[in-house]
Amino acid sequence: MLITQLAKLEEDITTTTTWALKEDLGAFYSEFACAEQDITAMLIPENEQAVATVITREDCIICGVAWVNEVFKQLDESQSCTDEQATKISSTKITWFVNDGQMVKANTTLFELEGNARTLLTGERAALNFLQTLSGTATLTSKYVKELQGSNTKLLDTRKTLPGLRSAQKYAVLCGGGVNHRIGLFDAFLIKENHIAACGGIAQAVTTAKKNHSDKTVEVEVESMDELQQALDAGADIIMLDNFTPTMIEQAVIATRNKAKLEVSGNMTIEILREYAKAGVDFISSGALTKHVQAIDLSMRFK
């Protein structure tokens, strides 16, 4: 797994996987997801063994290995509906042929599963949901990053993530070669229009932020050259240029003169990334990386 700044990632993998299985098995109010609630899988003899392979039907960047592993780990340790304690009911062997962050071609076999047939089928959708969604995020990110090659501009994600998958999608952005913006509302300031209005101005907002948390990065979103100057005068660490034209961005770069980092946001489509990067900004952020996700087409087949 790639090194990540997401401190809660391992814990989140366990939690989101648990909820995904409970969702599929109708076990929201139980401590464990009950595999016996898969009424279709129960048609198969209890001890039937099987081998299955998962392939991708399109080129992609892989992301989600740990989530797939966790799905079958939890199912292997799932609780019988009639037992009071969790009981190990099977042991699934997973053989991976790819790694997170790896570019693969269509029709590549990603991994092989061997174990109880019921377990493989019960876990199929939850496992593939994670893998295809996170691989979709990583793949789109890699396409954006490719457009920025040759520049000093870094690609950032945003908080516009799928609910419950914040750390997972931000990890996927890393797998695709992007960089994480703040993880949430707790680890950095991002002072926007409504914050400015409520605080009484840019200077007041920045001053209070530095007083309250001197160790946190303070970023201010501005919509004009006048607001840019106010943010510079207030000592902002990063200034987000919202919906600035390329010409305005060039002016902002000159006006800033390394006094602060500059970030561009607002409708940053892949077609215009190069133009904005040429202006000399430090960062381009795009919510599309995590909210306009097209899942990768994956398929599982029994041998």
The C-alpha atoms of residue 290 and residue 288 are separated, in whole angstroms, by 5
Active site includes 160?
A: yes
Q: At 97, which amino acid appears?
A: F
Q: 63 near 293, Cβ under 8 Å?
A: no
Q: Give, rounded to a whole angstrom, the gap between the first and last alpha carbons of the chain.
A: 28
Active site includes 242?
A: yes
Strand order in the sheet with 93-96: 93-96, 109-116, 49-56, 298-302
Active site residue: 70, 221, 237, 263, which one? 221
Active site residue: 114, 242, 261, 291, which one? 242
What is the DSSP-derived secondary structure letter of residue 179?
Answer: B
Q: 226 near 196, Cβ under 8 Å?
A: no
32: β partners: none
Active site residue: 192, 274, 278, 291, which one? 192
Active site residue: 125, 210, 259, 274, which one? 125
The C-alpha atoms of residue 110 and residue 95 are separated, in whole angstroms, by 9
Residue in 267, 261, 260 with CA at minimum distance from that of residue 244:
267
Would you name the residues annotated as active-site residues?
125, 160, 192, 221, 242
